[in-house]
Amino acid sequence: MPDDRQPDQTAPAVVGPAGAPAGSGTSPDWRAQQGDQLTSAQGVRLPDADHSLKAGPRGPTLMEDFHFREKITHFDHERIPERVVHARGAGAHGVFRAYGNAAQWTRAAFLSGKDAETPVFVRFSTVLGSRGSADTVRDVRGFAVKFYTDEGNFDLVGNNMPVFFIQDAIKFPDIIHAGKPHPDREIPQAQSAHDTFWDFVSLHTEATHMVMWLMSDRAIPRSFRTMEGFGVHTFRLADGKGGTALVKFHWKPVAGIHSLVWEEAQLAAGMDPDFLRRDLADAIEAGAFPEWELGLQVMPDSEDQMFEGIDLLDPTKIVPEELAPVQPVGRLTLNANPTNFFAETEQIAFHTGHLVPGIEVTDDPLMQGRMFSYLDTQLTRLGGPNFSQLPINRPRVPVNDMLRDGMHQTAVHTGVAPYLPNSLGDGKPQVADAKAGGYVPTPRRIAGPVVRESPVSFEDHYSQATMFWNSMTQVEKLHIVEAFTFELGKCYEQPVRDQMLENLAKIDAELCMTVAEGLGMPTPSGVATPDGKAELIVGLDVSPALSQLPLKPGPIAGRKVGVLVDDGADLAGVSKLRDSLESEGAVLHVIAPHGGMVKKGARSEVVERTLLTTRSIEFDAVVVADGAGSMTDRRAITLLEEAFRHCKAIAAWGDGANLLAAAGIEADAPGVQVSEKASSAQRKALVRAMGMHREWARLPQLLEEVVAT
């Protein structure tokens, strides 16, 4: 009897960019669009792409026009339901390379094998907005990774924040209903700055720690490339020899953690709603491949699943890195853009239950709920139970699952015995025990009364919110205060603001007072403990690792510099600057008042942006070349003013300094490099300043100015 397998899946993988096996022999060919001839879906060649079949040139269209009907019918059904959360996303292909040191904790071969390489697809997303919403809204970002391992697919469906709003999955529909637009007017789109969200989180105080992250700069990343990622829940790793450990997964961006400033995020939402997906695709296309290290925090698999007083099953708690260091175990590199957004980024189906031997879940009640939801949601979204056969979801190992038929079945199964045991199929497929690579979870004891309750340790809702606040620098604290004041300022219901201020008082008295001042509300009395700290501290008071400000300059690969020029500008200097930036992997864009070319003598430069088509948000630094200093266009001034206000690196040489002066930027202001001539010292200083991301030293100066006026 032949094996009861899908023909393609037994063959060694010949894969295209989406992992689609190319057709061979008599197997069905999975590729679309073969041949140069336009055909119907049935492969019939078609003579005309522009006219329907009519009774005379001025007559009605005929029912018999199967070409027209097939085309319109297909078009009418092009949309599939968007994801109920994380609808807006962007993805990329890549590779994960293991360092090999994880073998001490897990038998999962893709993690434990030294230099083992595993293809991956990653999808980044926002949570609240619809598919067409803006990228840069204040929101949590999804960070979902599908590893096509040699032992089957493993999905690490994480976020860019290490905790979550709720502790029990039963509340997930509620928090999402509260965060989504109000049901009557369907406003506001893709944001949390409205009454129902704050009503929910102020009453569900377990959300407090997560809300601190949401109000921090983490919620407005500069780029997907500059975000951390977290598995959030505690997982169990098994080494295959009886040893287990509890772990948390971390993705550490090689490019460092960077964020937008709030005004920039808002401008981008209008000027370039595709800001983050464009950045990702551009960087990959330019060869500045985004990279992360995968790290593990490893804790003992103790009976009570507590670590230093922290309940490892509570998804609103982190384990501070100072208590359990993040140990790097491999590197992820994104190196190819999708070929087709729908086929890959939209149709990819993640599931927390896509696990491989050596990686197991724990009893975290949020994770347990997710183990149900992800499979269930794909049935509606992807139209039935066969979504694993879509090229982007298909494992890169033989699949022999005995699942049959169903909507959109694309496999032609052979054999008559899709059941076990059988005699008609030679007893195949065979089951595999742990030794043969079967997924056999570590036996764990589950005993207890049937109750709807949480453990007492889940009642601490404030101590880590306070730790987060304590760990921020002044600039980060300022941003958090501004974010709370903005968001609560957008709430119309007074009781909602009151409730929230009372919660803030339990985190930190100063935080509460400053937000209350901004809202023009009295600070709630009698709520804060005398020192403004939460009553119960578990773990640590302060975790410096939580601050995202760089202490030394980081890499600038994939970052963008805009150079203002005009006809007659020092194009030799521009060219040298481009060389320096390109050697660091950064990109230079020439901005001029007009399109086409700018010239000086025999030299010329292509104008890539005009003052009409660009805005400061596009750049990490702005430079004015000698010869562009007498520009009078208001938009050039705005570009510089915004870049300065957003604390970006700024430079000018020669008469370029005049334009800075026209924008009110002093030559000796922090993060501003002015020189008489284009020089390598200036270029180096610019690279260093960009590596620090922002020149925050400007902030107090700006504040003084605001106060003074």
Report if residue 158 touches ligand HDE, rule: CB under 6 A: yes
To ligand HDE, the closest distance from the beta carbon of 145 in angstroms equals 9
Report if residue 153 touches ligand HDE, rule: CB under 6 A: no
Binding region for ligand HDE (CB under 6 A) out of 287-295, 298-306, 373-381, 502-510: 373-381
To ligand HDE, the closest distance from the beta carbon of 233 in angstroms equals 6
Q: How many residues does the chain have?
A: 709
Ranges within 618-657 binding ligand HDE (CB under 6 A) = none
Q: If you count DSSP H runs as helices and E runs as strands, how many of each does the chain have, helices first?
A: 18, 20
Report if residue 159 touches ligand HDE, rule: CB under 6 A: yes
Binding region for ligand HDE (CB under 6 A) out of 80-88, 205-213, 319-327, 590-598: 80-88
To ligand HDE, the closest distance from the beta carbon of 235 in angstroms equals 11
Dist. CA 510–CA 312, nearest whole Å: 30
Dist. CA 274–CA 408, nearest whole Å: 32
Is residue 159 annotated as part of the catalytic site, yes or no?
yes
Nearer to ligand HDE, 377 or 523 (CB): 377
The single residue among 121, 154, 164, 307 that binds ligand HDE, judged by CB under 6 A, is 164
Cis previous bond, 421, omega within 30: yes
Is residue 86 annotated as part of the catalytic site, yes or no?
yes
Best CA proximity match to 331, nearest among 582, 572, 97: 97
Alpha-helical runs (H) found in 471-523: 474-489, 494-507, 509-519
Ranges within 425-464 binding ligand HDE (CB under 6 A) = none
Report if residue 377 touches ligand HDE, rule: CB under 6 A: yes
Q: Tell me the residue nearest to ligand HDE as measured from the CB.
A: 142
Alpha-helical runs (H) found in 245-358: 262-271, 275-285
Dist. CA 317–CA 439, nearest whole Å: 29
Nearer to ligand HDE, 164 or 619 (CB): 164
Dist. CA 148–CA 154, nearest whole Å: 7
To ligand HDE, the closest distance from the beta carbon of 176 in angstroms equals 8
- Burial (CB < 10 A; 0-12, 13-18, 19+), residue 547, is middle
Nearer to ligand HDE, 22 or 176 (CB): 176
Dist. CA 113–CA 102, nearest whole Å: 8
Nearer to ligand HDE, 336 or 572 (CB): 336
Q: Fill in the amino acid letter for 567.
A: D
The single residue among 248, 277, 370, 559 that binds ligand HDE, judged by CB under 6 A, is 370
CB atoms within 10 A of CB 76: 8
The single residue among 89, 179, 320, 627 that binds ligand HDE, judged by CB under 6 A, is 89
Catalytic option among 159, 160, 386, 393: 159
Site string for ligand HDE, 34-73 (x = CB under 6 A): ----------------------------------------
Report if residue 85 touches ligand HDE, rule: CB under 6 A: yes
Report if residue 133 touches ligand HDE, rule: CB under 6 A: no
Dist. CA 483–CA 514, nearest whole Å: 12
To ligand HDE, the closest distance from the beta carbon of 341 in angstroms equals 13
Query: Which uninterrupted H or E stretch holds 110?
Result: helix 109-112
The single residue among 144, 207, 511, 512 that binds ligand HDE, judged by CB under 6 A, is 144
Binding region for ligand HDE (CB under 6 A) out of 78-86, 548-556, 665-673, 679-687: 78-86
Q: Write b or e for each residue in 591-619: b if 16 or more Cβ atoms lie within 10 A of its Cβ, otherwise e.
A: bbbeeeebebeeeebebbbbbeebbbbbb
Dist. CA 354–CA 351, nearest whole Å: 5
To ligand HDE, the closest distance from the beta carbon of 386 in angstroms equals 16
Nearer to ligand HDE, 82 or 584 (CB): 82
Contacts of 51 (CB under 8 A, 6+ apart): none
The single residue among 366, 500, 565, 636 that binds ligand HDE, judged by CB under 6 A, is 366
93 forms beta bridges with 121, 336
Report if residue 142 touches ligand HDE, rule: CB under 6 A: yes
Query: Which uninterrupted H or E stretch holds 659?
Result: helix 656-662
Residue 526's SS3 state is coil
Binding region for ligand HDE (CB under 6 A) out of 257-265, 368-376, 655-663, 692-700: 368-376
Instruction: Determine contact, residues 687/584, Cβ cutoff 8 Å.
Output: yes
Contacts of 573 (CB under 8 A, 6+ apart): 625, 626, 653, 654, 677, 678
Dist. CA 167–CA 648, nearest whole Å: 39
Nearer to ligand HDE, 85 or 296 (CB): 85
Catalytic option among 67, 86, 250, 646: 86
Ranges within 401-420 binding ligand HDE (CB under 6 A) = none
333 forms beta bridges with 95, 291
To ligand HDE, the closest distance from the beta carbon of 228 in angstroms equals 13
Binding region for ligand HDE (CB under 6 A) out of 201-209, 259-267, 366-374, 442-450: 366-374
Q: Which long-range contacts (CB under 8 A, 24 or more apart) does 28-33 make?
A: 28/410, 28/412, 30/391
The single residue among 67, 123, 180, 646 that binds ligand HDE, judged by CB under 6 A, is 123
Site string for ligand HDE, 339-358 (x = CB under 6 A): -----------x--------
Q: Write b or e for each residue in 103-134: b if 16 or more Cβ atoms lie within 10 A of its Cβ, otherwise e.
A: bebbbbbbbbbeebebbbbbbbbbbbbeeebb
To ligand HDE, the closest distance from the beta carbon of 133 in angstroms equals 15
Instruction: Determine contact, residues 196/178, Cβ cutoff 8 Å.
Output: yes
Question: Binding residues for ligand HDE, how many (CB under 6 A)?
Answer: 23
The single residue among 181, 328, 369, 532 that binds ligand HDE, judged by CB under 6 A, is 369
Site string for ligand HDE, 232-271 (x = CB under 6 A): x---------------------------------------
Nearer to ligand HDE, 90 or 500 (CB): 90
Residues identified as active-site: 86, 159
Residues within the interface to ligand HDE (CB under 6 A): 83-86, 89, 123, 125, 142, 144, 157-159, 164, 169, 172, 232, 350, 366, 369-370, 373-374, 377
